[in-house]
Amino acid sequence: MLRMFVGGVMSECKDEVRVRGKVDEVVWKDSVQVVGIDEFRFEAESGYKEGYKRGDDVVVVGRCKRGWKDFWLGRVWLDKAKVEERIEVEDRKGLRDRLVEIYERQLPDPEAGLVAGVVLGHKSSMEQSFYDSLIETGTVHVVVASGYNVVVVGTVVLNLLVYLMRRQQATLLALIAMVGYGWLAGGEAPVVRAVIMGSLVFLARATGRQTESGWLLVVAGWLMLMVNPQLIESVSFQLSLAATAGLIWVEPKIREGMERVKSSWMRVVMETELSPTLAAQITTAPIIWWNFGRLSLISPVVNMLVLPLVPMMMGLGAGQLVLGRLVAPFTYAVAHLFVVIVRWFG
């Protein structure tokens, strides 16, 4: 028996159903997309460049199933879903797409895709082979609008302005810059969460109040779950929360341990670049292993080599958007070194 639904809530869940509606939620789980249409969910295999987008008009058939957890979250899964019809939403180039085109015109691949990912959180234009190398080496976090990128933006702006004005004013402008970065990076829900949680870490560093930031993180996570309880199953939410917790609670312990290191060069590298990433990787490793079944054992080494390049790449990449080809050779030099390191280890 085939039943047709066009929106609305389903009270029974026994038959094969045909659902028609617009995609209102898309969540990535590795190469698999979880697509949401009203209360219905189904999985679709997709490459990282393609896939469903919010607003796509879809007709999908599947046999519905609903566990106790799905009942409480108000959703129905379509098992063995088959898409019968799909009308893709028209792509309209926004500001971020036009900025990405600047990199594509002035830089070769994969450097253009790398800089677009680091500066704008845009990874769709990146070569698949290089993207796979980023995953293998545990450095993929630098090409998404993550909490790390947000903190880098805030830190760079604060360091530039702190000599020109009061620290309180510089901190406020740095927070505004972080919000602006989130807007340029697309302003989608994962980006907004990265900005919120990255701002908490930044405030902790700027004010030296780690304990208060920890409580703010707990409150922020709780409020997000109250607004949308389904976030509890969102991998991006779990990773953002765990990474931020690592930066707030684990990184200070790593820094304390670095005080015992005799090598001044190693201590500087650990304190400025590697310790935040190492702290975040410690707290996110169980989540990555559970959801994706992989861990990168060489990730700390590769991150130690490439992370010092990220602030330079962000600064030069931002300058290239304004000054164009005058800055492009310097951006390429830094990005190419990053590519060489990642590909060698990958």
Can you give the residue range of the structural domain that contains 147? 96-345
User: Looking at residue 1, what is its pLDDT?
Assistant: 44
Which whole number is the average pLDDT over 246-253? 80
128 and 30 together in one domain: no
Residue ranges of the alpha helices (H) in the chain? 68-73, 95-106, 111-120, 128-136, 147-161, 167-184, 189-207, 210-227, 235-245, 251-258, 264-269, 275-292, 299-306, 309-323, 328-345
Instruction: Quote the percentage of the chain above a pLDDT of 90.
Output: 6
User: How many domains does the chain fold into?
Assistant: 2
User: Looking at residue 337, what is its pLDDT?
Assistant: 95
76 and 213 together in one domain: no
27 and 137 together in one domain: no
pLDDT reading at 50 higher than 70: no
pLDDT reading at 165 higher than 70: yes
Task: Show which of 87, 118, 153 is a domain's final residue.
Answer: 87
Could you tell me if 201 and 158 are in contact, meaning their C-beta atoms sit under 8 angstroms apart? no
Could you tell me if 27 and 234 are in contact, meaning their C-beta atoms sit under 8 angstroms apart? yes
Q: Highest mean pLDDT: which of 79-83, 108-112, 130-134, 297-301?
A: 108-112
pLDDT reading at 237 higher than 70: yes
In CATH, what number is assigned to the domain containing residue 61? 2.40.50.140
Residues 6+ apart with CB under 8 A from 273: 303, 304, 307, 308
187 and 269 together in one domain: yes
User: Looking at residue 9, what is its pLDDT?
Assistant: 45
103 and 173 together in one domain: yes
Which whole number is the average pLDDT over 30-44? 78
Task: Show which of 32, 67, 87 is a domain's final residue.
Answer: 87
If you average pLDDT over every residue of the chain, what do you get?
A: 76
SS3 267: helix
